[in-house]
Amino acid sequence: MSCPIHPRRLFLCLLISLAFFVVDPSSQHIEVKKKQMREKVREMFYHAYDNYMTYAFPHDELKPLTKSFTDSLSELGNLKLEHLPTDYNGSAVTLVESLSSLAILGNSTEFEKGVLWLSENLTFDIDARVNLFECNIRVLGGLISAHLLAIDPNNRLIQGSYNNQLLRLAEDLGKRFLPAFETPTGLPYAWINLKNGVMENETTETSTSGCGSLVLEMGALSRLTGDPRFESAALRALRQLWRMRSSLDLLGTTLDVVTGEWIEYSSSIGAGVDSFYEYLLKAYILFGKEDYWRMFHSAYLASQKYFRHGPWYHEANMWSGKPTYWQLTSLQAFWPGLQVLVGDIAAANSSHREFFHVWEKFGVLPERYLLDHQIIHPTMKYYPLRPELAESTFYLYQATKDPWYLDVGESMVKSLNLYTKVPGGFASVRDVTTMQLEDHQHSFFLAETCKYLYLLFDDSFVAKRNYIFTTEGHPIQVVSSWHEKLPETYFSGNWTLSKSGAWESRASALSLQVCPLISLNSRHPEQQRESACHVLDEQINHKCWSNKECGVDATTCRLRTCSGVGYCGLWNPL
């Protein structure tokens, strides 16, 4: 800038010029705070990881109170270990789950040591009955993610030779999953014996998330190996599940894989269904198949219409849409993070604040909280170090850069260290009203909880590359070569342009990543895009008797209300 050289104005001009170079003190404070919190989370991770390596490795998970171990490969889903050979030493599930976190923390030495050990020692040729869903997201997902991180030259995680050992292990495991899909419906059994396939008289009951949340890992495995069987099996199951939805586009919680009939009709965004929504959206991002987006969009609109009650989401009957259970479950806390990916920031922020309010009330998040009575569920008072609230906090900070979310993360770190840290690691909470502890450090504490808290305060790992995170927190980089066709619009930082450089008329909330979806093209400022948060009014003529009959506005994502003369609209001021 230029300034007139005048004695009276020289000092003022100097101050104005310096203002362009002075760093905002509040910004400096935030950066200092982020560095401090990053180091605290790093200490948490290594306290948990080092104790696992000392007292539990190569077994599956750590028991931090007694400094011992549990072989949980076939306990995932709370089933006792059966028929294992006497020399079985575990599958090092926590090590597999920790590899991507070690990469994000920049510990190439420990990452490479883990890869070498798994390459030489891990085997799936064991007589063990495992939960397909849990083994898929924890073990298969962990191996695939670590493989992709190992071959990425930008990470420089492997100093020696790497010959796709983790991918070969993943392929072996994937092949052992395939017999589970051999059902009349194509829906997989919930349990599979890694050595012998489906056991005689195996239960035919599974959950929506259990058979509808396999496509990320198995799809990635097909892309990496060239073997289409994995993705085909997962996709067939997903499409069959979608065909079983009600006329309201709702799905129940549990079903029979042989008959294709629903067992539990209650529908929700929580346990038993949660990752079904997540994988529809993330599969669209990762693979570019329009079917995923169409399914997600319909399912998302239905969830907004039938589950949402202000900032909360209750459960509803899949056939009638009427409420069934008014309860918060801790797994629901992933939802605001998913809404960030859709672009529905206002709704995400609203729900996230209510979840955090419950966290503040008890010090951690109870497994179930009865919304209608404002009390904890009497038999589900535990907190097993779940990551979902940390995950949503990370996504919302990335979307808004509001420092309040850093305060949320700091509060969570303090609570975890105060209530769950013990000399032998971090213990689950058996009862949040007394903070009585339980002797279990789940592998997802290292795979997700610590990871998302670390990324909240240091996002350098994701700053210049596009990743999706699986439901177990394992990063998979989004690459165009995995898309069956280039999507109509594609990402470039925070803005999305079509290949021609103009806005595509079919651009979606997902591709634009903003809500309201207003075109930023100055040549066509009047253009608007329909948002995925759009919920139609019940009546085409917009007449109503109550607010329940009104939807959500397409471009502002605000709830529409019923006016005094009986019409839905944006009557309430912001």
- Whether 141 and 214 have beta carbons less than 8 Å apart is answered as no
Q: Name the one residue in this structure whose structure tokens are 């829906």.
A: 187
Query: Are 204 and 275 found together in one domain?
Result: yes
Residue 510's pLDDT band, with cuts at 50, 70 and 90, is very low
Domain presence at residue 487: no
Query: Are 363 and 434 found together in one domain?
Result: yes
Domain presence at residue 557: yes
> What number is the average pLDDT over the span 380-407?
96
Instruction: Answer whether residue 540 shows pLDDT above 50.
Output: yes
> What number is the average pLDDT over the span 456-467?
92
CATH number at residue 100: 1.50.10.10
**33-49 confidence digits (pLDDT tens):** 999 999 999 999 999 99
**275-324 confidence digits (pLDDT tens):** 999 999 999 999 999 999 999 999 999 999 999 998 999 999 999 999 99
Query: Are 549 and 452 found together in one domain?
Result: no
- Our count of domains for the chain comes to 2
- Whether 550 and 541 have beta carbons less than 8 Å apart is answered as no
Choose between 207 and 548: higher pLDDT: 207
User: What mean pLDDT, rounded, does the chain reach?
Assistant: 86
252: closest CA among 293, 304, 190, 206?
A: 206
Query: Are 473 and 537 found together in one domain?
Result: no
Instruction: Answer whether residue 234 shows pLDDT above 50.
Output: yes
Residues recorded for the chain: 574
Residue 160's pLDDT band, with cuts at 50, 70 and 90, is confident
How confident is the model at residue 561, as a pLDDT? 86
Domain presence at residue 23: no
192: closest CA among 242, 130, 246?
A: 130
How confident is the model at residue 501, as a pLDDT? 36
Query: Are 69 and 217 found together in one domain?
Result: yes
> What number is the average pLDDT over the span 56-76?
84
How confident is the model at residue 202, as a pLDDT? 97
Active-site positions read: 134, 274, 367, 388
Instruction: Answer whether residue 425 shows pLDDT above 90.
Output: yes
Where does a domain end: 448, 467, 482?
Answer: 482
Residue 367's pLDDT band, with cuts at 50, 70 and 90, is very high
Choose between 349 and 506: higher pLDDT: 349
How confident is the model at residue 90, as a pLDDT? 67
145: closest CA among 494, 481, 511, 471?
A: 471
Secondary structure of residue 222 in the 3-state scheme: helix
Domain presence at residue 309: yes
**165-177 confidence digits (pLDDT tens):** 999 999 999 999 9
Q: Strand pairing partners for 59?
A: none
How confident is the model at residue 173, as a pLDDT? 98
Domain presence at residue 525: no
Phi, psi of 425 (to 5 degrees): 135, -140
How confident is the model at residue 256, as a pLDDT? 98
> What number is the average pLDDT over the span 205-230?
97
How confident is the model at residue 276, as a pLDDT? 98
Domain presence at residue 3: no
Q: What percent of the chain has pLDDT over 90?
A: 70
This prediction's pTM: 0.83
Residue 546 belongs to domain spanning:
533-573
Give the least confident one: 65-74, 121-130, 396-405.
65-74
Instruction: Answer whether residue 81 shows pLDDT above 60.
Output: no
Query: Are 169 and 309 found together in one domain?
Result: yes
Query: Are 145 and 218 found together in one domain?
Result: yes
Residue 550's pLDDT band, with cuts at 50, 70 and 90, is confident
Instruction: Answer whether residue 187 shows pLDDT above 60.
Output: yes
- Whether 207 and 137 have beta carbons less than 8 Å apart is answered as no
Where does a domain end: 449, 482, 515?
Answer: 482
How confident is the model at residue 464, as a pLDDT? 79
Would you say 471 is a known binding-site residue? yes
Query: Are 464 and 569 found together in one domain?
Result: no
- Whether 513 and 343 have beta carbons less than 8 Å apart is answered as yes
For residue 401, give every residue at least 6 positions away whose Cβ sits within 8 Å of its Cβ, in sequence order, or none.
Answer: none
Residue 514's pLDDT band, with cuts at 50, 70 and 90, is very low
Query: Are 56 and 119 found together in one domain?
Result: yes
How confident is the model at residue 80, as a pLDDT? 36
Residue 68's pLDDT band, with cuts at 50, 70 and 90, is very high
Domain presence at residue 217: yes
Residue 531's pLDDT band, with cuts at 50, 70 and 90, is low
Query: Are 162 and 254 found together in one domain?
Result: yes
Pairing of strands 308-309, 312-313: antiparallel
Residue 573's pLDDT band, with cuts at 50, 70 and 90, is low
323: closest CA among 348, 306, 311?
A: 306
Give how far the C-alpha of residue 282 lies from the chain's centroid of Cα atoms, to the nearest Å.
9
Q: Name the one residue in this structure whose structure tokens are 């056991």.
A: 199
96: closest CA among 66, 136, 133, 125?
A: 136
**99-148 confidence digits (pLDDT tens):** 999 999 999 999 999 999 999 999 999 999 999 999 999 999 999 999 99
Q: What percent of the chain has pLDDT over 70?
A: 82
Domain presence at residue 21: no
Query: Are 385 and 457 found together in one domain?
Result: yes
Which residue type, as a one-letter code, is found at position 187?
L
Where does a domain end: 482, 515, 548?
Answer: 482
**8-18 confidence digits (pLDDT tens):** 444 334 343 44
Query: Are 110 and 197 found together in one domain?
Result: yes
How confident is the model at residue 556, as a pLDDT? 65
